Structure 1
């Protein structure tokens, strides 16, 4: 697994110091992507630029390379504007602001900067560890609700599950227990079901059964087709809540009763006609 670590909201002096260090201090296996804070608050342009940088980095890897995307940010009143660009494919973590110590002049300022580097290293590695916890659940693939496509599953309970993990996982004193509790809460509203004539259970939204495709893996967004999609389409196709998942995985969706709908909305809101018997929907809502 490769980790793409994004750091946002840091002042120029911190960014310059980070660039003097080995990136492996912060992300042992992957890429370090930094966006200096150009203003006192996050702007849409800042979020868009970070999204473009991340997209370009993801495209540099082959489709079958497992990628984890995490973002550290200095919290502010405009943090939601930044984070909305990275939900739900990334796992965010808050950073304390850097406060230089000038009590003994330049020496104490440099000491405070070095101390902040150590802090960044610890926080980054802690969140990378959290992403491995999410990966343990995501690796179950068709048996985990964490990979359900947000648009086509059409459930406030799915959205609540993803938002809770995105916003609160790093704050939990027992992250694994928190993850399992949130999933159990979701399953109260969408329990596993076994479709008629099938031996395997699956998840259901009341209209469609979201079934495993077995070994028939073909419904996924390829790097070569990314130019025909929005930036978030590809990012959501490679990572969910900071955890990589099988790039070729999709759900075979069949109706509970009656015919399929005439079309289903894909990852960038374009209606796509289904196949005669089912519709292939990937976790990022890519439809094939």
Structure 2
């Protein structure tokens, strides 16, 4: 406790105030997390990588719900997998906080990417699209340099894109699927970080997307969980290496979130509703609920946050 005159203030209150960088207005309406979003879902039938336009209703990526406060004004961000889902939610949040955004996606996701561009530009920010396959080493390096050239530099890099496909028994797990998971979730973040580090000025932020399964595991996603555990270790080690350069390195670990990731890893309407109904939370996260964690880590006021993994999941009970 700290005492100011007659008033004793818990230290945790001060730390929370510093982390948020602003005070919540007293009149702001409280949001009940239990009832903010529906607890049942209709998933489209689609293969990898899937399109958000195929959903009805669509996941909430903040298109009409995220309100910015200028927390990233003047910043320049690169996001991989920014066309839909959490990637789109991050792009929209960054733009509404004042950042210009370049983002990557696969060419077949062009229609989703165009929608994301429209929301970035509607926020008054610049948007640049750079399609391509992150499994390709030379493309990852080219992506970083093209983004920096388009934006006039980089000070936020979010390595978000990932791949997973459920397999109930390792004896049936193909080498091809294992290699795709590894190259997308491990090699690509390494390639991107390697290319970005020399370009990032002091005060920059490098953010990876990990997962809650990195610690808890998942019986049907053994290779995916292993790659996310690697990203957690990579984040912590790289943070030590890049601290002398003034570059902060962190990760966000989402839980179950309503995105194309569910359909492309083999989930269906029936399987997901059955699984979610058994969790303490009783619902999935919407992408817009995860995006604020990335804003927090990108914001300069969080200058001592490095080597951390931010949880961004509700009580899903190991979902």
Query: What's the TM-score bracket when you normalise by the shorter of the two chains?
Result: 0.3 to 0.5
Higher strand fraction: Structure 1 or Structure 2?
Answer: 1
User: Computing the radius of gyration over CA atoms, which structure comes out larger, 1 or 2?
Assistant: 1
Instruction: Give the TM-score of the pair, scaled to structure 1.
Output: 0.32
Q: TM-score, normalised by structure 2?
A: 0.30
